[in-house]
Amino acid sequence: MLVTSNRLGRGLGYSVVLAGLLAGTAAWAGPTLDAIKQRGSIKVGVGTSPGFFAPDSNGKWQGFFVDFGRALAVTVFGDAEKVSFTSSSPQQRLPALQAGEFDILLSGVTQTATRSFKLGFHFGPIVFYDGQGLLVKKALGVSKAAELDGATIGIQSGTTGELNIADFFRKTKKSFKPVVIEETKEFVNALESGRVDALTQDASDLALRRIQLGKPDDYVLLPERLSKEPLAPAVRSGDDRWLEIVNWTVYATIQAEEYGITQANIDEFLKSEDPGIKRFLGVDKSLGEALELDPKFAYNIVKAVGNYGEIFERNIGKKSKVGFERGYNQPWSQGGLLYSPPFR
Ligand SMILES: N[C@@H](CCC(=O)N[C@@H](CS)C(=O)NCC(=O)O)C(=O)O
């Protein structure tokens, strides 16, 4: 493939381009995608909250974030199984991604400026709009965060929660005693054993943890949110094409929902006369060819894992054990924040 001046202008190192030409590889080929293709599967770092990511009774990983990992495997390999999932603590996972142990984190990582500028990560589209919450023992009789003055609060190390909770108490001029814990099990046990009065984490994570507790009704997730936690796929910087594959894989699920294309009705849509839908589903191959992807990649993703709404409902939606509302996590056309750029 020819190296265009445009590509050069996008900041590829000259020597990298030269090496690419000498090796006869495409100019956009990057180290992460190359390694994935050579290995034949994608390595995904996840967490352990059931609903988001957890192995089922057969040891097969299931969950909202897991399905995006499968969708990626469909884009790269046309096969939803060419992906492996490994859990890693919030403290360990970004360094592990940096060290190359993972190709991507789909683990509820919040996109922040520091993680992008200073730590060298890039983020794909936000897949879940969240906020930091507090899970509190009901017996405390607390209904809002400010009433936790003087409380002992469990925080998971390496999370955005560490700074957020400190900011909150500084802002409200109240005090708290932090107990910083790395391991998730120990973090949850701290609440049940009475070591802490409350836990703070992404509200979604706390809601998922609460239903796993021995006596869920003894605990309440306060309605307040202390922060914005836009959860997005995280990759190492340095491989633009891999990042674009992540971007457009997620967008495919969002765009499919906007079109009303589902796992069940997608074959009907193959007959659509709408030129946008024809391009999206690869009936018109021009888009896929221009992107150097299988023109049917979006079709294959929806066939394999469904559209965004189906992924949400299956794993964490109203009819699942978890019972989350869509809230911000619905298409912009229905009042949410999910918005895919155009497939053209
Ligand atoms: N969004 C926060 C917290 C990340 C986080 O802790 N995510 C949850 C899942 S949403 C998690 O990994 N929990 C521990 C686990 O699953 O074992 C951050 O990026 O720092």
Ligand 1 within 6 A of CB of 110: yes
Q: Flag whether pLDDT at 7 surpasses 80.
A: no
| 132 ligand 1 Cβ < 6 A | no
Q: Is the CB of 227 under 6 A from ligand 1?
A: no
Determine if ligand 1 sits within 6 Å of the CB of residue 90: yes
Question: pLDDT over 70 for what percent of the chain?
Answer: 92
- Measure the CA–CA gap between 208 and 177, rounded to whole angstroms: 24
**Using one digit for the tens of pLDDT, what is the confidence trace for 14-35?**
344 444 444 444 445 689 999 9
- Whether 246 and 104 have beta carbons less than 8 Å apart is answered as yes
Q: Look at residue 108 in the predicted model and tell me its pLDDT.
A: 97
Pairwise CA distance, residues 18 & 151, whole Å: 59
CA distance 108 to 208: 13
> Could you tell me which CATH class the domain 132-226 is placed in?
alpha beta
User: Which part of the chain has CATH 3.40.190.10?
Assistant: 40-128+231-334, 132-226
User: How far does the centroid of ligand 1 lie from the alpha carbon of residue 130, in Å?
Assistant: 11
What value does the mean pLDDT take over residues 75-96? 97
Relative to the CA of 160, which ligand 1 atom is closest?
20
Sign of CA dihedral 75, 76, 79, 83: negative
Beta pairing, strands 219-221 & 132-137 = antiparallel
CATH of domain 40-128+231-334: 3.40.190.10
pLDDT tens, 286-339?
999 999 999 999 999 999 999 999 999 999 999 999 999 999 999 999 999 999
pLDDT tens string 94-139: 999 999 999 999 999 999 999 999 999 999 999 999 999 999 999 9
CB-ligand 1 contact for 200 (6 Å cutoff): no
Q: Is there a contact between 42 and 36 (Cβ–Cβ < 8 Å)?
A: yes
Neighbours of 296 (CB within 10 A): 17
CA of 305 to the centre of ligand 1 (A): 23
Q: Of 276, 273, 281, give the one whose Cα is nearest residue 344.
A: 276
Cβ atoms within 10 A of the Cβ of 249, count?
Answer: 26
Which residue minimizes the CA distance to atom 20 of ligand 1?
159
